[in-house]
Amino acid sequence: MRIAFLVAPEGVEQVELTDPWQAVTDAGGEAVLVSTEPGQVRAFHHLDKADTFRVHQVVGDVGAEAFDGLVLPGGVANPDLLRTDRQAVGFVKEFFALGLPVAAICHAPWTLVEADVLRGRTLTSWPSLRTDIRNAGGSWVDEPVHVCADGPNTLITSRKPDDLKAFRDALLAEFTKVTNRFPR
């Protein structure tokens, strides 16, 4: 299982990156940090600077076909920066076009709104995104994790760091299904 973690150069909520990352690697998978720029990304604990992480791939140099799934960690600044980057939005769209699972937590669905992949889909997020999701044609629910298989791929979404255990369990279950269906 090879999973892309797409983040902006700064602003990702650290625990929303590291917790699912650890779950993927503990399950024997390969976690790959993809960003819009090479070098390092700066994570945050809410508004405070946290650790930096080395970028493995730049979004313009790799396609979705190289992965079995995509994780979009949140933080407020991270998805706001990603949704303004044409290549990042295109990268997200590729996962939907290929029918690969996508997992997004907290504010990360902002990038999905920009990618225009939410029509007819049900998902959850940080509550302040509710109107954006509805305006993008999606249905918003207030649940710790929501798995939506109504579309070209499975979409796993979660509200906040307190929901990480449910998020991690759901994304591993869905990513494993794809890996078993399309072994590398």
Render pLDDT for 80-96 as a digit per residue (tens, 0 to 9).
999 999 999 999 999 99
148 carries an active-site annotation: no
In terms of Cβ atoms closer than 10 Å to its own Cβ (0-12, 13-18, 19+), residue 54 is: exposed
CA pseudo-torsion sign 169, 34, 129, 97: negative
- Note the pLDDT of residue 184: 52
Residue 30 identity (one-letter amino acid): E
* Averaged pLDDT for residues 133-144: 98
The token duo for 55 is 């970028």
* Position 111 pLDDT exceeds 80: yes
* Position 183 pLDDT exceeds 60: no
Non-local CB neighbours of 141 within 8 Å, separated by 6+ positions: 122, 123, 124
- Note the pLDDT of residue 66: 96
107 carries an active-site annotation: yes
Query: Which position among 56, 107, 146, 148 bears the catalytic label?
Result: 107
Domain edges within the chain:
2-181
* Averaged pLDDT for residues 101-124: 98
pTM higher than 0.85? yes
Specify the fold of 2-181: Rossmann fold (3.40.50)
- Note the pLDDT of residue 77: 95
Query: Which position among 45, 56, 106, 148 bears the catalytic label?
Result: 106
* Position 180 pLDDT exceeds 80: no
The token duo for 101 is 């699972």
* Averaged pLDDT for residues 145-172: 95
Taking CA atoms, 30 is separated from 9, 131, 138, in Å, by 21, 35, 31
Mean pLDDT of the chain: 95
d(CA 43, CA 174): 26
